Amino acid sequence: MTVKKRRNIFKTLNPIKPTVGYDTYWKFAYKRQEIFLKRLRGETIDITNDDILQKYKFTNVYRSCDRVSQYLIKNVIYKGGFDTRDLFLRIILFKLFNKIETWELLENRFGVICEENFSVKKYNKLLDSEMNNGRVLYSNAYMMASGCGDFKVTRKHQAHMMLIDRMMKDGLPERIQDCKKMSSGYDLLLQYPMIGKFLAYQYVTDINYSELTDFSESEFTIPGPGAIDGIRKCFKALGGVTESELIKILADRQEYEFERLGLDFKNLGGRSLQYIDIQNVFCETDKYCRVAHPDLVGVSGRTKIKQLFKINKKPIEFVFPPKWKVKMEKLYGHK
């Protein structure tokens, strides 16, 4: 990186005013990525000397590396060839619950999930029965509206099945496929009940993991509540820029910031942090700062990290969208 480029990057931060949490943001990203890479390579000793990372659960730096995202990529999107409508249905159905066990419950009963065997009545009958028996159908990763009022039903999953049915009848899979920009696909999703700005951005990102679309990931971003909390802890003043603009600035600055702090950040096989990942790290930095910098206050006012770290011994065979051209040999430390 040239000195001239460094100076230009440095100037872009003014008049944004960082707190002590700003350096913590980059240090957290570095340390959490090191943990990911060590586990990927089978290392079990001296994974990290960070007490907070040892004790509490934090998601990976790259959103696509987490267990649920990996399952989506490998088992929902790239497991066999699916046409536009089947692929869209599979992605949205999986992401509405965002829970592997619920997806496998449906597959075990109905076979390969596709438009042909999708039935609001049959799916709801199974899900009603499971819920009556105490099964938790949804992940707690996202707070979602029930949609019961919109669809005149009594349970959230009933509304979601009707939502998918409406999307398919509206020709939404083809309409999103025809979009030239991610923001256009986002706008289409946003028109539907129960899907707010944050979820629409998450869902269009998930759709873009597939070959259904090929949107630029450097077009726009919609920070969620957790990311906004993290931003508030990392900056005392934004200098007139929005949270979305700030994420874009940091994506441009990432190499400079890691170098400034003397951190040899190893990216995802040649793939730098995308807007969705920058946002993701803000969410996790918010949690990390609850212990590391308890004096920093976010929007939510949360002061504790709920989830403790527990080893999941079930291995993950990592797969990434072919269009990303991730150099897997770099992840495993091979030249």
Instruction: Give the tens place of pLDDT for each residue, 121-142.
Output: 999 999 999 999 999 999 987 7
When divided into structural domains, the chain yields a total of 2
36 and 8 in a common domain = yes
Which pLDDT value is given to residue 270?
96
**Claim: this prediction has a pTM higher than 0.95:** no
The answer to whether position 68 is within a domain reads no
- Name 2's Cβ contacts closer than 8 Å, sequence gap at least 6: none
Q: Are 40 and 331 in contact (CB under 8 A)?
A: yes
203 and 116 in a common domain = yes
200 and 271 in a common domain = no
Reply yes or no on whether the pLDDT at 187 is more than 60: yes
Q: Which of 150, 174, 207 is the last residue of a domain?
A: 207
- Per the listing, tokens 């707010």 go with 196
In single-letter form, the type of residue at position 181 comes to K
142 and 50 in a common domain = no
Q: How far is CA 227 from the centre of its chain?
A: 11
Reply yes or no on whether the pLDDT at 71 is more than 60: yes
Separation of alpha carbons 205 and 203, rounded Å: 5
Which pLDDT value is given to residue 335?
52
The answer to whether position 72 is within a domain reads no
Confidence of residue 9 (pLDDT cuts 50, 70, 90): low
What is the domain extent for residue 56?
A: 3-60+222-331
226 and 314 in a common domain = yes
Question: What are the pLDDT digits (tens) for 200-211?
Answer: 999 999 999 999
Confidence of residue 12 (pLDDT cuts 50, 70, 90): low
319 and 229 in a common domain = yes
Which pLDDT value is given to residue 293?
97
231 and 177 in a common domain = no
202 and 86 in a common domain = yes
Separation of alpha carbons 65 and 78, rounded Å: 15
Please give the biggest Cα pair distance in the chain.
64
**Range of weakest confidence among 9-23, 69-83, 216-230:** 9-23
Q: Which of 181, 207, 233 is the last residue of a domain?
A: 207
Separation of alpha carbons 186 and 197, rounded Å: 8
295 and 240 in a common domain = yes
% of the chain with per-residue pLDDT over 90: 84
Q: Can you say whether residue 307 is alpha, beta or left, with left for phi > 0 and alpha for psi between -120 and 50 degrees?
A: beta
What's the average model confidence in pLDDT over 285-299?
95
- Per the listing, tokens 């259904």 go with 212
